Amino acid sequence: MITKINESLAQQIVDTVKDVCGQDINFIDEEGTIFASTNTNRIGDFHEIGFQVAQTHETIEVKKESRFYGTQQGVNVPIFHNGSFLAVIGISGEPELVRKFAYLAIRITKLFIREQELEASNRTQQEQMNYIIHALTKGEITNREYLYECLQERKLDKKQKIRVVIFKLKADYNIANRSSFEQKLFQMFDTLKLPLYTYHYPNDYVAMINEKELFFSLQILKSFAQDNNQILEVGIGSSHELLQLKHSFESAKIALKSLERTGQNIASFDQLDIDIVLGSLDSKIMEHYLEKTVASLCEEDKELLTIYYAEDMSLQKTAERLYLHKNTLQYKLDRIARLSGYNPRTFKEAVVLYIGIIMSK
């Protein structure tokens, strides 16, 4: 029985609830410390009202005129499971508007907890797959003996090389059509004879592909991604042994993130270069870098630099492509240097701007 919500589960829950209501969500422990939040800057902060709720086990609503340390306007509700206090969940916003989402968050939390308990206690085929994938991709192997037993039942060698593939439905996908999509997806999984796959709420499906089968599988994956390019994104992770699958899972997420820049809908971690670095950066660091480099440039300047770099910094080729006189192009590049503080015509400073252009897309 679960008696505590870990940080990973709490973060998954707050992200899920925010997808529904659009408000910032916090998970607060019995000491009043925020340990999961949609606003990562608040993680580790003390939440005075959350602490009071944890001590009294009573819901507290904070109105605009209220003033408490580390607290914003919103609703703070205690969460219990089988009679035991787990945590406080707080939702920012006007209480009248967000109160319903607080109770939705409780229901979602209990669903997540129930799912984890089922994975740990039941041994049906699908639940066993869920347990294996969760344990391996999250690196949370709490019962190694049971995990090895599951792998043995499925004839999976701990030393074999596997890749994680994440299939992500786009946020605007009509949830009413999910069952028909799942049918096509699972048929494709059966065609590939994938050893393990599962669904991750709310929009992700996670599958494992044997490295030896990758060449054959890749053709089918690309075809499936192309057929569903309006609703689906696919990220293929790097190759690792089963017990190191967390690294493949993380690299698959980086591959997915790279699609935001390329406009494509399938990417393999092995084919990435600078996106490996960018995909690992904290959003605040990226914002700071953009502010320092290309924030002063207009969209026309950024487009000029994009073409300039695509033409290997050739003035002649860039001028021809933009239908500009070479002197005009040089003037524009000098202007960009004055505005940004970085000269796009020298290699080192051009790299600085190039990274900023990629980040800004």
Does residue 25 sit in the same domain as residue 107?
yes
Closest CA to 14 of 31, 282, 5, 46: 5
Does residue 241 sit in the same domain as residue 295?
no
**Which of 105, 121, 137 corresponds to the end of one domain?**
121
Find tokens 């796959």 and name the residue: 197
Does residue 101 sit in the same domain as residue 11?
yes
The pLDDT value recorded for residue 123 is 53
Burial of residue 162, with CB atoms counted within 10 A of its CB: 0-12 exposed, 13-18 middle, 19 or more buried? buried
The confidence band for 67, taking pLDDT boundaries of 50, 70 and 90, is low
pLDDT in tens, 210-269: 998 888 899 999 999 999 999 999 999 999 999 999 999 999 998 998 888 777 899 999
Closest CA to 132 of 158, 110, 109: 158
Q: How many domains does the chain have?
A: 3
The confidence band for 122, taking pLDDT boundaries of 50, 70 and 90, is low
Does residue 298 sit in the same domain as residue 341?
yes
CA distance 361 to 356: 9
Does residue 171 sit in the same domain as residue 222?
yes
- Residue 292 confidence (pLDDT) above 80: yes
Residue 147 covered by a domain = no
The pLDDT value recorded for residue 257 is 86
Residue 164 covered by a domain = yes
CA angle (154 as vertex; 150, 158 as ends), nearest 5: 75
**Which of 278, 304, 320 corresponds to the end of one domain?**
278
Residue 37 covered by a domain = yes
Does residue 259 sit in the same domain as residue 320?
no
Does residue 296 sit in the same domain as residue 264?
no
CATH of the domain at 189: 3.30.70.270
Residue 126 covered by a domain = no
CATH of the domain at 334: 1.10.10.2840
- pTM (predicted TM-score): 0.54
The pLDDT value recorded for residue 72 is 76
Distances (CA, A) of 15 to 100, 172, 206: 17, 16, 18
Residue 31: phi, psi to the nearest 5? -90, 0
CATH of the domain at 14: 3.30.450.40
Does residue 259 sit in the same domain as residue 335?
no
Residue 332 covered by a domain = yes
In one-letter notation, the amino acid at residue 116 is: Q
Return the percentage of the chain with pLDDT > 90, whole number.
48
Tell me the pairing of strands 204-210 and 161-169.
antiparallel
Does residue 289 sit in the same domain as residue 242?
no
Its domain, for residue 17, covers 7-121
* Cβ neighbours, 10 Å, residue 134: 19
CA distance 116 to 86: 15
Residue 348 covered by a domain = yes
pLDDT in tens, 92-106: 888 888 888 888 888
Of 34-43, 175-184, 271-280, 299-308, the range with the lowest mean pLDDT is 271-280
Does residue 56 sit in the same domain as residue 94?
yes
Q: Are 172 and 180 in contact (CB under 8 A)?
A: no
Residue 152 covered by a domain = no
Residue 143 covered by a domain = no
The confidence band for 143, taking pLDDT boundaries of 50, 70 and 90, is confident
CA distance 110 to 100: 16
Does residue 291 sit in the same domain as residue 254?
no
**Which of 68, 97, 121 corresponds to the end of one domain?**
121
Does residue 290 sit in the same domain as residue 270?
no
Residues shown for the chain: 361
Cα 38 from chain centroid? 12
